[in-house]
Amino acid sequence: MPIHPTAFVAPGATLGEGVTIGPNAVVEAGVVLADGVVLGPNVVVCGNTTIGAETVLHAGVIVGGPPQDLSYAGEDVSVEIGARNILREHVTVHAGTARGKTKTVVGDDCYLMVGVHVGHDCVVGNHVILSNNVLLAGHCHLGDYVLIGGGAAIVQRVRIGAYAFISGLSGVTKDVVPFAYVIGHRGRLDSLNLVGLKRRGFSRESIRTLLAAYGMLFVGDALFRERVARLDAEMGDDPLVRTILDFIEAGRNRPLLQPLPKDHGGAAETDLLEAGV
């Protein structure tokens, strides 16, 4: 087990087979590192933190630090990071809070680039990519395959649905439906994440189904709840559409990001169809 002589591993830490710990790294009591975890130079893993197999933490990463929440009073809180993740230099992941989930969670196969911050009580799904300096405030929830561009900031408690794309430097203040594309300094719903869906192998038929659902939800003069009801009645049996409807239902008391009208630069369904989908 290659542990650099300048590293500190506290009694009470649990290390799996093949763990590598670099120079000046610190592993506190209560930490659990699964098989094949790699900690680079100056990494600090503290508190009740569990890190899954083959996850790699590059230089300067800090995981398990206390939450940046004035309510925190030393309660028993934790971080759980899954398997095969890559956390690049200076990523920070803070523990949960007693009044939240008590746990901050990062799933499997995620890539967190330089300077990413994952705030207390966040839940990050699987296969998520967070580009340089992305900031997640407390209690955010990211679905699987979400991709967020560099410098974007996500306000506390915001939910971002699976396969959504958030463009760089966007500030997101409301929930984002699955499969969506968000752009703008003050993030707005622009269209579907067409490029991402194609790259993930979604069929042409599936994408056209989602386009129709997007148009039904976000284009027209009816009240939003009426559009949701119509979508449920007409397309609710489709599993992809059901993903959107379930997301909306789960957050029915929360604000949902909406597109601008077409004449203000928002993309309507016809624009997307003209893109060759």
Query: Which of the residues are catalytic?
Result: 120-121, 138
Q: Would you state the structure tokens that stand for residue 11, as one six-digit string? A: 């009694």
- CA-angle at 236, arms to 243 and 122, nearest 5°: 20
By residue count, the chain amounts to 277
* Element counts in the chain: helices (H) and strands (E): 5, 27
